Chain A
Amino acid sequence: DTGVSQNPRHKITKRGQNVTFRCDPISEHNRLYWYRQTLGQGPEFLTYFQNEAQLEKSRLLSDRFSAERPKGSFSTLEIQRTEQGDSAMYLCASSFQGPTNEKLFFGSGTQLSVL
């Protein structure tokens, strides 16, 4: 499978615990995005990387959230001291930013439930 891969698919955690999600993008893609989606809403932008550089972070991304893409390949999103309001689907998408129209391709997402 050469699509975007995310794991775990589901994560249940207790309030206050730390969680980490992983995303493996499509190999030739140079951009990687993280989005969050709650029921009935569209995906909301969290952050994105061009290769290994994190170029933008949303104001939604509090200091409890951190994302890395150490070698410009896979990325991790960590949430520290989780709160019930963090419960959502966390979606990763990758794209190739080049001369033609950039398009996003999503992974299956990680569904986080904070109890």
Chain B
Amino acid sequence: RKEVEQDPGPFNVPEGATVAFNCTYSNSASQSFFWYRQDCRKEPKLLMSVYSSGNEDGRFTAQLNRASQYISLLIRDSKLSDSATYLCVVRGFNKFYFGSGTKLNVKP
């Protein structure tokens, strides 16, 4: 079983839509959680950390449910520039585990 599982998508949404991605992780001892964004043929870039209390950064909201080992990312008012692959990342003991990513296409 993979450490981090994500729906690969693609999610095709119109501009202005709200879209949500989920991921699950297998190790209950995981310590910290992140969402990274990756554009085609580019390196992953940190989008936001995810905290148990939930956190927001502009149009982006991340939630963590430790009991269900589940992480979510909500994007409101989608922009064309949000089109990318979103990677769910979980830090275990001294190692970061990446999901395969969820592809988002925002269309005009």
> Which residue numbers of A lie inside 8 Å of B, CB to CB?
33, 35, 40-45, 48, 55-56, 91, 101-109, 111
Chain A residue contacts of B32, Cβ below 8 A? 101-102
CB within 8 Å: A-B pair count: 46
> Which of B45, B91, B98 has a CB less than 8 Å from the CB of A43?
B98
Q: Which residues of A contact B25 (CB under 8 A)?
A: none
User: By the criterion of a CB under 8 Å from any partner CB, how many residues of chain B are at the interface?
Assistant: 22
Given A40-B8, A42-B101, A102-B32; A56-B43 close (CB under 8 Å): no
Q: Given known contacts A102-B32, A103-B34, is B95 in contact with A43 (CB within 8 Å)?
A: no
Asked if A102 contacts B91 (CB within 8 A), the reply is: yes
- The distance from the CB of A98 to the nearest CB of chain B, in whole angstroms, is 13
Interface secondary structure of B, over-half rule: strand
Q: Determine whether the beta carbon of B49 is less than 8 Å from that of A101.
A: yes
- What is the chain B residue whose CB lies nearest that of A40? B100
Query: Taking CB as reference atom, which chain B residue is nearest A107?
Result: B43
